[in-house]
Amino acid sequence: MQVIKSGHGELIQPFDLDEFREWNRTRKSRKLVDKVMSEQEAISKFVYDGCYIGTELYGTVRCPMSLAREVVRQGKKDLRVCGQGVLELDMWLAAGIVKKLDITYIGLEVYGTCPSLRRAVESGQVESCVEWSNGAITWRMKAAAMGVPFLPTRSMLGTDTLEYSAAKVVEDPFTGIKVALIPALILDVALIHVHRADKYGNCQIDGISGFATEMSRACKRLVISTEEIVPTEEIRKYPDRTIIPYFLVDAVVHAPFGSHPGEMAYLYGRDEPGIKEWVDMSQTADGAQAYIDKYVHNVKNHQEYLDLIGQGRLSELIDGRERRE
Amino acid sequence: MSEPTYSKTELMICVASRLFEDGTTCFIGTGIPMLAAMLAAKTTAPNLVPIFEFGGMGAILEDLPRAVGEARTFHKGLYAAGICDAMESAQRGFVDYGFLGGAQIDPYGNLNSTTIGDHDHPKARLPGSGGGNDVGSHCWRTVAIMQHDTRRFVPKVDFVTTPGFLNGPGAREQAGLPKGTEPAYVVSTLALMDYDTGPGGTYRMRLKSTHPGVISEEVITNTGFELILPENVEVNEPPSAEELRILRDEIDPERLYI
């Protein structure tokens, strides 16, 4: 198969499928082991300087904010990150802990572009930005989840998005059409927030699943934060609802309101003033730092963060949740 | 009864909303496309099937989603899937329309939402493709919704994030993009544009109709490239009182966009 064109973006997470298989054979227990731990323990155990890390879903929706704050609190640095992010990746960029990005979209959606992303990239603090579409980055994880080196797609063709990616264009040997081959993405660590999990890490999600299926199967280490830890009997009643089985999971962290100030479908709505506070404060580097001091460094853990937000405000968010009618 | 007054953004949303065909599947990007889709669903296209990239399909759009993964994107929906299912549906030809925004557009409808200036040393780092590139690659027809000025309507975009007609007739197929997919319209704060795609056409952007109170010269002055001018430039219908009421009272009462 002849390569017609190669994107000149860096493959910032090279991979070895047989090594991944070996990892899954030897480093992922098949036993039902209690994996419940604190966020401090989970992040210090599995996230390390320079690692390739990703978060699911999408910055204001079912986002692992309590874990993302703990990553900043522990001073992890030189992270290589993939993503589509709003609050969590923007905060990491503001904290200066991101070195390389496989970027699809980092923006504040309704509130526009991210000043922290702009500062971090325009100043050269982020060493490389490799471009992908949302479909492409997810299919890269799907390739890893399938255990194959790449997937073909008809996205990205003809554009600078492809030129600045690490994709390759080839002629499909079956039909002769041009396709973009996108390389598997095996993450060192993934952070995913779910509605409920048991102590072993069997996870269920309500509402859209984003790319939880793909990311959970494309990573070497998976830290789950969950709104609720439920008995395994509950999981066994509805096994069809389990989207992430326990053997993929390395840590289970109990994190009620773990997506705050983002939302959690059917549990609580997004905290609009809370999001706006980040939008406003992150306009300047000093403001972003003040926000991080207030909500990350000046609280010891997620419980203290919730105390700072206050029960009254959290109750209002429950009132504003999406309801099943 | 006096004529209702309205802003340019409200007018743009109303004109865009009339492009949604009832009973079609539509990929809805974040921002203004969401308002246009909601207005269409509440007026001329009650059977519209909105698709949001993170997996929400067939939602009843009662409240404005502020994020493409928000619960409002699958409120009373038909299907809450994931990003792969949404994107793969488009890739295999199930999505009729895609509605997108961008920072820059060129005569061929290529969109930039990645960087202003050189990619590796940008003057401005924008959010990136998101689902934009996928939507522009796979949806049968795409509609761009933009503010109209010479900073946004440029001869050459700094970065082709999302494919339009690339560099002219045949270029999409040549690049390998799915056959028959095309940018269809651009709705701006001044006018509605389409493309010169007839036999022997240039595939460049063409003025179709101006908004009420806007003359062709104003559109030309605010476009950074030569716009194709048809013999007859029609004038779009102004927003009706009912469209404005729905937009202001039901869709964006918090005035996030309008």
**Cα–Cα distance, A259 to B191 (Å, whole number):** 41
Specify if B226 maps to a domain.
yes
Of B74, B128, B137, the CB nearest to A131: B128
Give me the interface pTM, i.e. the ipTM: 0.96
Do A291 and A191 reside in the same domain of the chain? yes
Do A101 and A249 reside in the same domain of the chain? yes
**Cα–Cα distance, A7 to B45 (Å, whole number):** 41
Q: Name which of B62, B83, B126 to mutate to probe chain A: the one with the most chain A Cβ atoms within 10 A of its Cβ.
A: B83
Specify if B2 maps to a domain.
no
Specify if B258 maps to a domain.
no
A137, A167 contact by CB (below 8 A): no
All residues of chain B having their beta carbon less than 8 Å from the beta carbon of residue A131 are 114, 128-129, 161
- The number of beta carbons lying within 10 Å of the beta carbon of residue A33 is 13
Distance from CA of A187 to the nearest CA of B (A): 18
A126, A96 contact by CB (below 8 A): no
Report the pLDDT value the prediction gives residue B2, as an integer from 0 to 100. 59
Q: How confident is the model at residue B117 (pLDDT cuts 50, 70, 90)?
A: very high
Do A156 and A243 reside in the same domain of the chain? no
Q: What is the mean pLDDT of chain A?
A: 96
Do A177 and A295 reside in the same domain of the chain? no
Q: At residue B7, does pLDDT exceed 90?
A: yes
Q: Looking at residue A141, which CATH number applies to its domain?
A: 3.40.1080.10
**Cα–Cα distance, B234 to A212 (Å, whole number):** 48
Do A176 and A261 reside in the same domain of the chain? no
What are the start-end ranges of the E strands in B65-161?
79-80, 97-100, 104-105, 111-112, 115-116, 124-125, 141-146
Provide the domain limits for residue A179.
152-183
Provide the domain limits for residue B242.
8-251
Specify if A19 maps to a domain.
no
Question: How many structural domains compose chain B?
Answer: 1
Model pTM score: 0.97
Do A160 and A213 reside in the same domain of the chain? no
Report the pLDDT value the prediction gives residue A86, as an integer from 0 to 100. 83
Mean pLDDT of B40-46: 95
Do A135 and A239 reside in the same domain of the chain? yes
Do A45 and A179 reside in the same domain of the chain? no
Mean pLDDT of B15-20: 96
Count CA within 13 A, CB hemisphere, residue A303: 5
Q: Which residue has the tokens 């494309």?
A: A218
Do A174 and A216 reside in the same domain of the chain? no
Specify if A18 maps to a domain.
no
Q: How distant, in Å, are the alpha carbons of A123, A277, A295, A306 from that of A291? A: 21, 8, 6, 15
Q: How distant, in Å, are the alpha carbons of A103, A306, B257 from that of B12? A: 30, 42, 12
Contacts of A1 (CB under 8 A, 6+ apart): A170, A171, A173
Question: How many structural domains compose chain A?
Answer: 2
Q: Which residue of B has its CA nearest to A4?
A: B175
Mean pLDDT of B237-252: 96
Q: Looking at residue B37, which CATH number applies to its domain?
A: 3.40.1080.10
Distance from CA of B217 to the nearest CA of A (A): 30
Of A159, A177, A208, the CB nearest to B162: A159
Mean pLDDT of A134-149: 98
Count CA within 13 A, CB hemisphere, residue B168: 4
Specify if A213 maps to a domain.
yes
Specify if B147 maps to a domain.
yes
Q: Which residues of B are catalytic?
A: 53
